[in-house]
Chain A
């Protein structure tokens, strides 16, 4: 076991791609303890990918890429500006609100950070007088809305790993995402007052209406997707395909999307998907060999030896996940930790849907923390802020995110109310 842990650590820190780290560690583990079972590896890789539920990942990635090329971002920004732009420091609110809208279209944080970092963040500095690093920090931490507001690639992955309903995960994400929006609004309110940022006049109602109508197709897509899933009309995977079709229609109808762009979009989403799913495939080898050695059971014994009270164990797990999130990407963190931790928490009586939100929030916060924070790197590059000043500006917002994490951890109803109300869980 120590040999395996050492091999894993060495391969990981030397920068070997995580897919290879997991595959090779699994290979060595099986060779040492169970050499007769080596030919199970291809079957483990195939069986986890040959899965109708996981198919939702490429479909939602493609839908996000198509929507993004359909010029919906500009319309959403315009609508949000007419909606909340007149408040003091209005563009900050606009930024977070667009984050929420985009979260309902895109399922990933990096896309959120890249889009808003290049569109709204520079305007926050130029027009509203935000400090550049604050504008970047607000963009970075609110990018967590991408994976927390449904649809979400992270939730799909968790649903497959923990064997729970994607629909229930999607519903469970709505209130926590609104909490994230709320804490960002609170931060912006106080920041704008302290800095004495300007106010814009209230927009004409006519302008508000026009911008609303123009943004309507983009706002309706999530309604169709989520409505379809929750009414049981179609599965999450099917709704991903419908989202692609709607995005294609919107793009062509608004003349922002040319057919010549489509192959490039298909390739980009295929590459994004493969980068995630090859890790899913190889992690299933290590997952199998660890399960064979009963590592999840041992982990459960270890945790329950400390305490059998979820109120004690959950903060410990939060701490563990936050540290892991500081170093690992969401996908890798999830694939390694979820199979081990879900048995632990279910033994303690924690609902796996509730735990899905806890895991996702922890790892999403890790995207905005050094030393490894993908969203941090993207935002710093796009908004052109040195990494260290961005990190400093993120600190108060990370504190607020930790408040959200605490609320979600200790108040299960925040996550579970909607899935229960829709009868997706008991």
Chain B
């Protein structure tokens, strides 16, 4: 499980780097084409937005793995050592519940007939392409959270938050 989680994390970092680069590049292309060549690519803005959507949901799993999720952790830090494990378990279970809910509804939406027939305006890309990023990102999150939960009960260290 830890191995799978680490492998998914490395994959997500690679994807993040590519997404940020493509996003920035296509906006730059748009600016130059518009101002210097008086020519506008209709797809560049849409491609950038697509990268941004994927970046948000794939990136969220990596943010969790790095323990950089923004949280109110004031009380958590005050939890006595012997209850740490339970506090961490609570958060991990909540994250698991969250990811399962959004995998379910995300998949349902992405595979719904209304999304399947819909195409984007510029790229003529099926709308499943942006929508599927939600369940995929949440699936990565689920793996990380389950791996954390296992580590909480088998490992010596307790990761909180």
Contacts of A17 in B (CB 8 A): 64, 69-71, 91, 95, 161
The reply to whether B57 and A43 contact each other, CB–CB distance below 8 Å, is no
Within 8 A of B (CB), among A49-69: 49-52, 54-55, 58-59, 62
Which of B27, B31, B60, B97 makes the CB contact (< 8 A) with A274? B60
* Cα of A41 to Cα of B106 in the assembled complex, Å: 8
A238 at the interface (CB under 8 A from B): yes
Chain A's interface size range is: 35 or more
Question: A165-173, A201-209, A262-270, A341-349: which lies at the B interface?
Answer: A262-270
Of chain B, the residue at the smallest CB distance from A15 is B76
Which of A14, A43, A237, A275 makes the CB contact (< 8 A) with B27? A237
The reply to whether B28 and A274 contact each other, CB–CB distance below 8 Å, is no
- Nearest CB of A to B81, in Å: 16
**Contact (A38, B105) CB under 8 Å given A45-B134, A271-B16, A278-B59:** yes
The reply to whether A24 and B31 contact each other, CB–CB distance below 8 Å, is no
**Contact (A42, B131) CB under 8 Å given A49-B52, A59-B27, A279-B70:** yes
**Contact (A58, B52) CB under 8 Å given A14-B75, A24-B94:** yes
The reply to whether A16 and B91 contact each other, CB–CB distance below 8 Å, is yes
Which of A52, A269, A327 makes the CB contact (< 8 A) with B49? A52
B3 at the interface (CB under 8 A from A): no
* Cα of A371 to Cα of B31 in the assembled complex, Å: 44
The reply to whether B112 and A39 contact each other, CB–CB distance below 8 Å, is yes
Within 8 A of B (CB), among A245-304: 245, 263, 266-267, 269-271, 273-281
Question: What 1/0 flags go to B38-61 for Cβ under 8 Å of A?
Answer: 000000010011101101111110
Question: A127-135, A143-151, A328-336: which lies at the B interface?
Answer: A328-336
Of A12, A16, A49, A54, chain B has the most CB atoms within 10 Å of the CB of A16
B98 at the interface (CB under 8 A from A): yes
Which of A18, A52, A275, A281 makes the CB contact (< 8 A) with B68? A275
The reply to whether A58 and B55 contact each other, CB–CB distance below 8 Å, is yes
Contacts of B45 in A (CB 8 A): 52
* Cα of A245 to Cα of B29 in the assembled complex, Å: 11
* Cα of A234 to Cα of B53 in the assembled complex, Å: 23
- Nearest CB of A to B109, in Å: 4
A11 at the interface (CB under 8 A from B): yes
The reply to whether B23 and A18 contact each other, CB–CB distance below 8 Å, is no
B72 at the interface (CB under 8 A from A): yes
Question: What 1/0 flags go to A61-82 for Cβ under 8 Å of B?
Answer: 0100000000000000000000
* Cα of A79 to Cα of B45 in the assembled complex, Å: 38
B21 at the interface (CB under 8 A from A): yes
B157 at the interface (CB under 8 A from A): no
The reply to whether A24 and B59 contact each other, CB–CB distance below 8 Å, is no
Within 8 A of A (CB), among B79-130: 87, 90-91, 94-95, 97-98, 101-102, 105-106, 108-110, 112, 130
A20 at the interface (CB under 8 A from B): yes
Give the A-B contact count at a CB cut-off of 8 A. 182
* Cα of A9 to Cα of B59 in the assembled complex, Å: 26
**Contact (A270, B20) CB under 8 Å given A13-B72, A39-B112, A50-B130:** yes
Contacts of B112 in A (CB 8 A): 39
Chain B's interface size range is: 35 or more
B11 at the interface (CB under 8 A from A): no
The reply to whether B35 and A372 contact each other, CB–CB distance below 8 Å, is no
* Cα of A269 to Cα of B17 in the assembled complex, Å: 9
Contacts of B16 in A (CB 8 A): 266-267, 270-271, 274
B147 at the interface (CB under 8 A from A): no
* Cα of A267 to Cα of B112 in the assembled complex, Å: 33
- Nearest CB of B to A267, in Å: 5
Of chain B, the residue at the smallest CB distance from A281 is B56
Contacts A20-B95, A51-B49, A276-B70 known; list 17 others, CB within 8 Å.
A12-B72, A15-B160, A16-B95, A17-B64, A19-B60, A50-B130, A55-B49, A238-B27, A241-B27, A241-B31, A266-B20, A267-B16, A271-B59, A274-B56, A278-B60, A279-B70, A372-B74
Residues of B at under 8 Å CB distance from A?
A: 13, 16-17, 19-21, 23-24, 27-28, 30-31, 34-35, 45, 48-50, 52-53, 55-60, 62-64, 66, 68-76, 87, 90-91, 94-95, 97-98, 101-102, 105-106, 108-110, 112, 130-131, 134, 160-161
Residues of A at under 8 Å CB distance from B?
A: 11-20, 23-24, 27, 38-39, 41-43, 45-46, 49-52, 54-55, 58-59, 62, 233-234, 237-238, 240-242, 244-245, 263, 266-267, 269-271, 273-281, 327-329, 331-332, 371-372
